Amino acid sequence: MPKNLQLAITAFGEPDTLKLQQTDIPTPSEDQVLVKVAFAGVNPIDAKTRAGLGWGAEKIKDSLPWTPGFDAAGVVVHDSGEFKAGDRVVGRIVEGGGYGQYLCAPSDALSFVPEDVSLEQASTLPVAGLTALQALELANTTKDDKVLILAGAGGVGHIAIQLAKAKGADVFATSSSKNAEFVSSLGATALDYGKAPLEQQVQDIDVLIDLMGGDVGEAALASVKAGGRVVTVPTITAPRIIEAAEKRGVIAQGMLVQPNVTQLDALLNAVSDNSLTIEISKIYPLEDGVQAHVDIQSGRTRGKILLEIPQ
């Protein structure tokens, strides 16, 4: 009987609490599709959950060991409704499980992957792509806006720059000096966060997309003009950022990325027609997932990190 190899959080703590385990291949319910996973995205939320922080950890604290992985791309195993065996699919999997060979995914969370988009590219989009798109929409970003994106070289940031540019916005993005050229190549004005305080580098920002939170997110509020809009993505520090923004006469709100097949289809089509470029900095085999978590929690990664699931 074939087994399902997974990389699971065995306890809250450091990256080495991730351990390989074997379980039975799950059986999908009526509204689910069994997917053989090829690639899973590694996201900051995975590392926070593993460390025992935030809403994700709260949700799973009584069900360890638990397999993370909120975005996964792979191949449908059995015919199920509109999905046929062999179809290439990708989805934002709210219940996790992407760090494993087999996954029961809700059928209404899956998108078909276009022929000219690789499963590697597809697996970067459900969390990072939807976060970028939904943050810009939540801020009502338009072509006349001056937009500042924190952590512009990261998984969400490099997609957000391109989507904001596609709306016609004037985009500024923070990065390290070594990633400045990459950020500029995406069409943003790169701001080296190591050079000078942000408010000395840019002012009168209409829209701030805060992908950092904490001290960095709060300091960036000084660059936003009165009446400006802020979307802060890290949930742990969102209340602090919202409160600090209000004191400055700035409207701030937090967000939690939601599955949205229509939006995911649009992102996949943008990759297909080359209007959206995805940077994948590293693909680790599943057994090296501990190192992937060390990388992602450093906050210094460029583009996306993926796990390749053994077939």
What is the reported pLDDT for 102? 98
DSSP string, 229-287: EEEE--GGGHHHHHHHHHHTT-EEEE------HHHHHHHHHHHHTTSS---EEEEEEGG
Residue in this structure with the two tokens 């703590």, named with its chain if needed: 13
Q: What is the pLDDT of residues 158-211, one digit of tens each?
A: 999 999 999 999 999 999 999 999 999 999 999 999 999 999 999 999 999 999
∠137-139-145 over CA atoms, to 5°?
A: 100
The pLDDT value given to residue 56: 87
Q: What is the pLDDT of residue 122?
A: 98
* CA dist., res. 2 & res. 98, Å (int): 18
Q: Which residues of the chain have pLDDT under 70?
A: 1
Neighbours of 275 (CB within 10 A): 12
Query: Domains of the chain (ranges plus CATH)?
Result: 3-124+278-308 (3.90.180.10), 128-254 (3.40.50.720)
Q: Which residues pair with 147 in a beta bridge?
A: 171, 207
- pLDDT tens digits for range 10-44: 999 999 999 999 999 999 999 999 999 999 999 99
Residue 198: per-residue pLDDT: 94
Cβ atoms of 205 and 188 closer than 8 Å: no
* β pairing state of 18-24 and 3-9: antiparallel
pLDDT score of 2: 80
Distance from C-alpha of 167 to C-alpha of 182, rounded to nearest angstrom: 20
The reported pLDDT for the residue numbered 170 is 98
Partners of 192 in the β-ladder: 175
